[in-house]
Structure 1
Amino acid sequence: MFGILGFSAAMGKRQKQQVTARPRNSPRENSKEIPIDLLIDVFSRLSMRDVARCRCVSKLWSSILRRRDFTQLFLKISSTRPRILFTFLHNGRRLFYSIPQVPDPDRNKYSFPTRFYWVSSSPISAYYQMHFPKDLGPSYTVCAPIPGLICCKSKKPMICNPSTGESKYISLPRATTKRLNVNTSFVYDPIDKLFKVLCLSDDFVFQVSTLGTEEATWRTVDCLIPHLPLRKEMCMDGVLYYLAMRLDHETSTPYMVVAFDVRLERFKCLPVNRSYINIACSALIKYQGKLAVVWLDGNGIQQHQQLELCVLNDGDEVAWSGIIYELPYFWYNLAADTYIYIVGVTTAGEIVMATSHPREPFYIIYFSTVTHTMIRVEIEFGIVALKPHCSKISTILNHVEDVELMD
């Protein structure tokens, strides 16, 4: 009896539903069909976290958010809001944190007769991005970043996207050298849109391999001047630049910048007309669209009094010019007697310096070459910074969020 009544009730509900249902071609149903171009425009304005959530809504949204035109549009928009990336080792794992690159203009400002500086009224909490797995070894470092992607330097290289939290091992061909010490650099050809790995062994043999090809092989590349890379490198406009020490002793200037054209796979050596560079506190930067070597100079590491730049005005004739920025007299108050090193330069022309360890008060210092102003911001990394076994922090400027997945 209860079964019959239940069946009749169900049939009644079904008939009622059939009566009230709208036809598929009704205006209300058609209004749900949003043009894909409009969806791409809306999705491109979302945060990384919201994009990840939208991928789980439906297969249609997931396919749209994997389209090449969407990833390129998102990358273009996110390049206008770059972030600063921090990475350090903690118990064998490499952790990644980030903050917005543009400092907060509403923080406390202290005026001086001719110049002024800002000091953050409260620390900024860095956002945790991801970590590399533990089995890469405790001594690996990261390569000069390509916007959106980071590669580690180790015997087992890995590419990661800190924005999506993904990582992927690089399948490299069998090495043609038996040397143990190998220096690798992750490079990108923006014209052919190819990723490559440049490898230098301790017997000064240069090899390059293209990633993503079916039969990846090492190709030997000749460099006429023997040199020792000094771990100061930067990628700019399809060229990898790194500071090096000459080993041929044929000139009075021991330093040079080595330029590796990623697409043509050719080296060019640019002798630097300086007999002294403070290597420990130096960096390669893009200064007003040109390559430059910058270092802190003064009477000792804790008493730097000026920033010295060596700017490459003509790459063909290898013509350099020198620029000196005197640091303001309140520099010692900002540095707070800590080890400071140069990170790079922002698109606004600010030279960025940083301290080096997460367990101590960690500072980012911006120095504007236009207005001669300084901003100091304290960064916090949460409870992980209070634990032991944390290595030196690597600070990376101009990090761009990239939504492309590593399939």
Structure 2
Amino acid sequence: MSEIPLDLLVEILIRLPGKYLARFKCVSKQWSSLISSPYFCESVYTITQRKQQPRLYMCLVGERGQSALLSMSSTSPDNTCFVVDQDLSIPGMGCYYLNDLHGLMCFTVGKKACLYNPSTGQRLTLPKIKADIIADKGQTRYISRYSFGYDSVNDQHKLLCTSVIYSGKLFNLKSEHWVFVLEAGGSWKKVVSHKNYRPHAPFSRGQSISGSVVHYLAWHDMYTCAIVSFDVRSEELTTIIAPEDVMANMSVPAIEMKAELIDYGGKIAIFECSYLKTEGMAVLLVLEDAEKKEWSKRSLVLQPCQRHLVQDTEFIVKGTTQDGKVILAPLEMHSGFYILCYDLQSNGLSKVEIQGVPHRWFDEECYYDLRLMSESERVIYLET
């Protein structure tokens, strides 16, 4: 192997699947250093960009604690059908909130965060966070939400954890934030909040739209909605509260509201679909200018011929596709698994079937989460 020129060796390796590259790191220190180098990972990304084939990942958690992580590939040119082709289930995986960035997934195992690379099969469980917030009398609800971000200047991936404790209906809310840098010897570090910081509860997962900033939807109380932004490089948090005139006619409390952040042409937007089932209507709130806190509001009314797709089911938002369509997933699935793709420009819906899910999941109540990821994600290797 020493007779193979280095540039030729690189050309050979970058065309191999990620799971083999993870094994080849054990060949020698030179190979390990080469495969882990930013140049090599960027070369793999450039090569795989040509594929552009999306994969759908579904995490299922049953009422008795059983779980499954299923990987699906598209079987049609227009991506109207995905079929399960891999069972990536990991023992002890107990959370149905997936977070992803550059090909990495994060979920919880017990009370610890676990990172997983589907392309290489690598898994890394992070240390448990020793939270500083102390529960007062009557405070029994405790949640943690994880979000991914990337600092391109320092070439660092960071995991943000927001820990929240509160009593019923978000009373006496307390929150704090921790950051983990994905590097050798990394550990959790508490984020210092600014003086005007106001405790909040993340609505669900955070999403990184610009890469260097993580945004997530949050609540200060049952009716005060805000967008929280975390600058990955400076590790600073900022909050923009949605004004009352923007939230007019949306008097749905936090525990009932079905909304999520989406990427709308590079801008942060809230897609709210609480009345999709009853009125065939959704609302799009776009943050036009973050510094000036300027918003725009747009009501979306479904075409009458497509009302039957939503009349019997509540839907929740699960992100967007590569071409900007909003992914809507049924709140409950009984007779079959599927998602809807909402085209914001035409107000049109298209149904995407999910086939090959094990039959045992059709016979019981379960929670689930979905993520649509592209095969052209950057290759990241987890150092254990």
Fold match by TM threshold 0.5: yes
How far apart are residue 321 of structure 1 and its match? 0.6
How many Å apart are 1:71 and its aligned residue? 2.4
> What pairs with 1:237-386 in structure 2 (closer than 5 Å)?
237-247=211-221, 254-272=224-242, 273-275=246-248, 276=250, 280-298=257-275, 302-335=277-310, 337-357=312-332, 359-386=334-361
Structure 1 residues 165, 384: closer, same or farther in 2, change over 3 A?
A: farther
Q: 1:404 to 1:230 in 2, by over 3 A?
A: closer
* Alignment CA distance shift 1:54-1:277 (3 Å): farther
Q: Shift in Å at residue 337 of structure 1?
A: 2.3
- 1:404 corresponds to 2:380: yes
1:189 alignment partner, one of 136, 150, 171: 150
Structure 2 match to 1:161: 117
| One-letter identity of the residue aligned with 1:345 | T
Note the residue ranges of structure 2 that are not aligned, 5 or more in a row: 166-172
Partner Cα separation in structure 1 for residue 207 and residue 143 of structure 2? 18
Aligned to 2:104: 149
Percent pairwise identity? 20
**Counterpart amino acid of residue 118 in structure 2:** P
Change in CA separation of 1:235 and 1:102 when aligned onto 2, cut-off 3 Å: farther
Shift of the alpha carbon at 1:350? 1.4
Q: Which moved more, 1:383-392 or 1:223-232?
A: 383-392
Give the C-alpha shift of residue 314 in structure 1: 0.4
Over residues 194-253 of structure 1, what are the superposed CA-to-partner deviations in whole Å (9 max), with x where a residue is unaligned?
423333231624132333464735324225223333225322222222222234x9xxx7
TM-score normalised by length of structure 1 = 0.73
Q: Distance in 2 between matches of 1:406 and 1:390?
A: 34
- Is the 1:358–1:393 Cα contact (8 Å) retained in structure 2? no
Say what the alpha-carbon RMSD is for the aligned residues: 3.6
Distance of 2:373 and 2:271 partners within structure 1 = 18
1:42 CA drift (Å): 5.0
| Deviation at residue 37 of structure 1 after TM alignment | 3.4
3-state secondary structure, aligned to 2:44: helix
Is the 1:282–1:341 Cα contact (8 Å) retained in structure 2? yes
Offset, 1:390 = 5.7
One-letter amino acid of the structure 2 residue matched with residue 238 of structure 1: S
Aligned match of 2:127 in 162, 171, 187? 171
Question: 2:170 is matched with which residue?
Answer: none
1:200 aligned partner: 163
Post-superposition shift, 1:104?
Answer: 2.7
Map of 2:208 onto structure 1 = 235
Larger % of strand: which?
2
2:68 to 89, 95, 99: 95
- Counterpart of 1:161, as a letter, is N
Distance in 2 (CA, whole Å) between partners of 1:53 and 1:220 is: 33
Q: CA deviation at 1:267?
A: 1.6
Answering whether residue 95 of structure 2 is matched by residue 132 of structure 1, we say: no
Q: Give the 3-state SS of the residue equivalent to 1:382 in structure 2.
A: coil
| Distance in 1, Cα, partners of 2:188 & 2:24 | 36
Kept in 1: contact 2:178–2:189 (CA 8 A):
yes
Unaligned 5+ segments in structure 1 are 1-29, 108-119
Q: Which amino acid aligns with 2:320?
A: V
Identify the structure with the greater helix proportion. Answer: 1
Moved more, 184-193 or 37-46: 37-46
TM normalised by structure 2 equals: 0.77
**How many Å apart are 1:277 and its aligned residue?**
6.4
- 1:125-146, Cα deviation, whole Å (9 max, x unpaired): 2222512322x5x4x3435322
* Match for residue 192 of structure 2 among 206, 212, 221: 221
Change (3 A) 1:377 1:141: closer
> Paired residues, what number?
352
| SS of corresponding position for 2:358 | helix
Q: How does 1:113-124 map to 2 (within 5 A)?
A: 124=82
Match of 1:394, SS state, is: strand
